[in-house]
Amino acid sequence: MTLKTPALTQQLLAWYDRHARDLPWRVPPHERKVGVVPDPYRVWLSEIMLQQTTVAAVKDYFTAFTAKWPKVEMLAEADADDVMKAWAGLGYYSRARNLKACAETVARDHGGRFPDTEEGLRALPGIGPYTAAAIAAIAFDQPAAVVDGNVERVMSRLRLIETPLPAAKPEIRAAMGELTPQERPGDFAQAVMDLGATICTPKRPACALCPWMEPCAARAAGVAETLPRKAAKTAKPTRTGAAFVLRRAGDGAVALRKRPPKGLLGGMAEVPGSEWAVDFDVASAVMQAPVAANWHKRSGSVGHTFTHFHLEVTVFTAELGAGDLPEGWWWSTLDALEGEALPTVMRKVIAHGLG
């Protein structure tokens, strides 16, 4: 049997036909209607990059990745360190490790083709409930209920769901499922996300421009901007630590090492440093210097905020005239630094040390 497409769904698809955002990874609705199908590899890559990350931040990375690795087999065969270097600055670095692992699995176990079902996609590393549904709907026309932060906001307003997140998730998923059509499920999912990104925004939603203004229960009740409700967040503690910018006499190259493969900034490059702790003693920081040298403390400090704590780093600098670096460390010339797998906090630290 064929389910009747709800009128609400048709209204939003009509809006999407006129107002879809033009994005590098998207096949626009007018092209899909004449038979153009999206490349599942590009859909997957964009969805991984877009996890908790803004469209503006993703665009250049997506362009660089698809230029360097146009097919999933090429990414599967790429050097893991090259992938981390290309991802540097985008954040959530476990995504890059899982990206590589997923590409290898698809190439080795699936003949280079992504699974076309939610269940099959969900089994791959880095693909959770949202991403599996998004790829299934957008790349394979499966009527999956795609639920991301935009959808949570739009549905909680449209249906006046006042249960706080995350307890409201099942209710929201059901609401999205009831509206998701058999035809154009991928366009519908992207339509709801575009609506959330451009009209049904977290603050000051542009209800007057919304194709769902009339049926929106939250707007009728005058509470649209207060939804979705969320549980209170815990405060971020401040950790402190020391970092050591060791420079090679002559050319000024900087000593780098690699962080452990998992955890915070896992697998990325760093300058040597102390632990980051709430009770860190800056006065004795130089005692933890990685090598004996004439260390100088730079004035001020480097501040950086992670997901769950603030960081204040005191930077020390020294010059090394002779002697080998510890095992696994390397010198990076000033020209080479830009291409290293350095997370943003480390680029700040190095800039402070060089300044």
Residue pair 314/285 in contact (Cβ under 8 Å)? The answer is yes
When asked if residue 2 is in the footprint of DNA (CB under 7 A), the reply is: no
Residue pair 88/341 in contact (Cβ under 8 Å)? The answer is yes
Catalytic residue among 31, 47, 171, 270: 47
The helix-helix angle for 7-19 and 185-198 (nearest 10°) equals 70
**CB 119 to DNA: min, Å:** 13
Site track for DNA across 281-310, x = CB under 7 A = -----------------------xxxxx--
Binding part of the chain for DNA, among 4-12, 54-62, 156-164, 322-330 by CB under 7 A, reads 54-62
Taking the least distance from each CB to DNA, the nearer of 115 and 126 is: 126
Residue pair 92/52 in contact (Cβ under 8 Å)? The answer is yes
Q: What is the chain's length?
A: 355
Q: H or E element: which one contains 119?
A: helix 118-122
Residue pair 135/121 in contact (Cβ under 8 Å)? The answer is yes
**Binders in 95-114 for DNA, by CB under 7 A:** 98
- Residue 29: CB atoms within 10 A of its CB come to 18
Angstrom distance (rounded) from CA 318 to CA 296: 6
Cross-strand partners of 126: none
How does DSSP classify residue 320? E
Site track for DNA across 56-75, x = CB under 7 A = xx------------------
When asked if residue 91 is in the footprint of DNA (CB under 7 A), the reply is: yes
When asked if residue 52 is in the footprint of DNA (CB under 7 A), the reply is: yes
Cα Rg of the chain (Å, integer): 24
CB proximity list for 196: less than 8 A, separation 6 or greater: 149, 150, 151, 153, 154
**Binders in 7-36 for DNA, by CB under 7 A:** 21, 23, 25-26
- Give the residue, chosen from 112, 120, 129, 181, that forms a contact with DNA under the rule CB under 7 A: 129
Catalytic (active site) residue 152: no
- Give the residue, chosen from 12, 90, 139, 350, that forms a contact with DNA under the rule CB under 7 A: 90
Cross-strand partners of 296: 317
**CB 267 to DNA: min, Å:** 9
Residue pair 43/25 in contact (Cβ under 8 Å)? The answer is yes
Taking the least distance from each CB to DNA, the nearer of 309 and 331 is: 309
- Give the residue, chosen from 83, 155, 176, 193, that forms a contact with DNA under the rule CB under 7 A: 193
Taking the least distance from each CB to DNA, the nearer of 86 and 320 is: 86
Residues designated as active site: 47
- Give contact residues for DNA (rule: CB under 7 A): 21, 23, 25-26, 46-47, 50-57, 89-94, 98, 125-132, 134, 148-150, 153, 190, 193-194, 196-197, 202-203, 230, 233-234, 263-266, 304-308, 343-345
